[in-house]
Amino acid sequence: MSPKDEHPARSETRIVTERDEKVRIEFALNQAESHLARMQSSPATRRLKLALEVFRRTVASWNTHTPTREELDLIREHVHEVLELVKSDLPTVKLPRSA
């Protein structure tokens, strides 16, 4: 028996559940809200805050019903778009660090 045969390669498959997706989406929402909180108030930031509020309410509603794959894909896409906007396109104000 060769060393290669002693430890056969292991194959793993991970099933992503709706709960995993919800956690990832909530994490992205938290990141976007954190970046947005450091931005100066403007019409654009207010619109983004409202959008994130709608997304958060949508995700919270999944406690009463299971989202469809399409709903998961759409909300993930929208949250990702907002996150990319607040991370790169819009200037942020650095918060003072506490000692």
Backbone angles phi, psi at 27, to 5 degrees: -65, -45
Residue 20 has pLDDT above 70, yes or no: yes
Q: How confident is the model at residue 44 (pLDDT cuts 50, 70, 90)?
A: confident
For the chain, domain boundaries: 17-87
Write down the pLDDT at residue 25. 93
Write down the pLDDT at residue 27. 94
Note the pTM of the prediction, 2 decimals.
0.68
Closest of 49, 24, 47 to residue 35, by C-alpha: 49
Residue 45 has pLDDT above 60, yes or no: yes
